[in-house]
Amino acid sequence: MNKYAVEISPATENDIADLVLHLSALEGEPKIDLISSKGFGGATEVTLIISLLGSPIVVKSIAAVLTAWISRNEKKSVMLGKTKISGYSAEDVEKLLKKIKPK
Amino acid sequence: MTLIETLVELLHEEGPDKLTLERRNQYAAIFKDDPKLIQSLEGKEWTVGTSRQYFESLRDRLLEKNQGLAAVVGIPPVLQVNNLREITSAKRSADEHAVVIDSFVTTLLWTMDKAWAYGRNIAREEQDVLFCNLFVHFATLRSFLQQGLVWPRPKTPPHQTKEGLALLTFMVGAQESFLIGHELGHIYVDRGGELPKDPVCMRDFATSYTFLKPRDASIDQELLADELAFEFTLRAYQENESLEVVAVTSIFLLIRYHLWLAVICSNGEDDRDFTLWFGRNSLFREKARHICRGETLRSIVEVSELMEEAIEPAAFRAEKAFKLIREKADK
């Protein structure tokens, strides 16, 4: 099973409810778990752990959903690994997702 | 594996975790009579559990010395993530709380404390250059890692004596206890623990940031967690006055390092970070005045004066250098 961590800040679980809904509805029904975080510097953050069976079609759809959500929420910082993906195209996000080794 | 342990694995970034030959030789010179200890300092391949045992021993001391704390917060796991973004955080999934410590802060504390504790043996000018370079390194690491504009980390004075290494280890341990105590403080508040009747952090003097901008609820939450952490940590070291002095002054150093970093990284527009650390600094001074013994208070004043004399000028020079690097990053 492939797992990806997508960190969104500043954010609460309510702020990303629509994103979770869209991701959960994708083909293959990826499992989405949420972890809320309160940092020592005062930042609030939510991390999505997306778990899926490695279908290339699903990875492409995840990239499209993420970039569409980012374009509607320009003030949120979205990190995939150590890369801030705000402003990236869906194709670039898809490439980054494919580079992540299964754990 | 729990969800939060899975997250820590996913966020882990590869990095050097072996001792350098130079560092190994320093340890060998100090501990020549104890080769097993050298081997234990050699480092291991990173796993979720590598540092967990150490951090959870700090947590256990806090739980043991603060009666009733475990009944509210439980025994949350304390995990370290090897990346370079945050300081520490309290994380919550559907079924658990956990404390996560970022390797950025453990590296920062070890390196800055080493420069502080061992720096007294080097000339003032050298110490000044060392602190200036350290501030620029950590400020760029925090701000421009993605752009690849990280100022190289300068060499700190070598380990030379067992006593020096013991002091350094204790200082960093007290600071890490405070960080863990802060996150336990958040969990304590989330789970409805009984709060101080007249919290110092809610008084006007501690929130001196209110003259800078309207009161910020998220800063109030952080200061309340700090106040709880300060009490949790102090109780863990109160049995021995000498340990209390070093623990309290070490926490003060932690706050000052970050306050100066906030000044260096401020872009003049969003001063929330500076405001938070400024509020922490005020809270800490007032809290110490209320609950510390005479010897501890005298030490805080001495350390404060020494820091201002020895480190503050370096921080202001680092601010100028950082601005130049930011201009390059913005192009």
Give, for all 331 residues of chain B, the pLDDT tens digit: 888 888 877 877 655 555 567 777 777 777 776 666 666 655 544 444 557 888 999 999 999 999 999 999 999 999 888 766 667 888 999 888 999 998 888 889 999 999 999 987 888 889 999 999 999 999 998 888 767 788 999 999 988 888 898 899 999 999 999 999 999 999 999 999 988 887 777 776 655 665 556 677 888 889 999 999 999 999 999 888 888 888 999 999 999 999 999 999 888 776 788 888 888 888 888 888 877 777 778 888 888 888 888 889 999 999 999 999 988 888 7
Residues near B93 by beta carbon (within 8 Å), at least 6 away in sequence: A33, A34, A35, A36, B2, B3, B4
Q: Hey, which residues does A8 pair with through a beta bridge?
A: A46, A78
- Locate B99 and state its tokens: 């404390």
Give the one of A33, A38, A44 whose C-beta lies nearest to B93's C-beta: A33
Tell me the helices (H) and strands (E) count for chain A, helix number first. Answer: 3, 5
The domain locations on chain A are 2-99
Give the one of B10, B186, B218 whose C-beta lies nearest to A3's C-beta: B10
A12 shares contact with chain B (CB less than 8 Å): no
Q: Nearest Cα to B251, choosing from B275, B274, B273, B227?
A: B227
Q: Do B92 and A5 touch (CB under 8 A)?
A: no
Give the one of B6, B83, B90 whose C-beta lies nearest to A38's C-beta: B90
Q: Do B146 and A3 touch (CB under 8 A)?
A: no
H helix runs in A28-83, sequence order: 56-72
Q: Do A40 and B183 touch (CB under 8 A)?
A: yes
Q: Do A40 and B182 touch (CB under 8 A)?
A: yes
Count of A-B CB contacts under 8 Å: 72
A101 shares contact with chain B (CB less than 8 Å): no
The pairs formed by A71-78 with CB atoms below 8 angstroms and a separation of 24 or more are A73/A15, A76/A8, A76/A9, A76/A10, A76/A11, A76/A15, A77/A8, A77/A9, A77/A10, A78/A6, A78/A7, A78/A8
> What confidence tens digit (pLDDT) does each residue in B2-42 have?
888 888 778 776 555 555 677 777 777 777 766 666 666 55
The pairs formed by B50-54 with CB atoms below 8 angstroms and a separation of 24 or more are B50/B80, B51/B80, B52/B77, B52/B78, B52/B79, B52/B80
* ipTM of the prediction greater than 0.95, yes or no: no
Residues near B170 by beta carbon (within 8 Å), at least 6 away in sequence: B243, B246, B247, B250
Q: Do A41 and B276 touch (CB under 8 A)?
A: yes
For residue B220, which amino acid is it?
A: D
Best probe of the A interface among B14, B86, B109, by most A CBs < 10 A, is B86
Q: Do A40 and B222 touch (CB under 8 A)?
A: yes
The domain locations on chain B are 3-330
Give the one of A4, A35, A45 whose C-beta lies nearest to B93's C-beta: A35
Class of domain A2-99: alpha beta
Measured in angstroms, the CA of B145 and the nearest CA of chain A are apart by 9
Q: What residue in B sits closest to A32 (Cα-Cα)?
A: B3
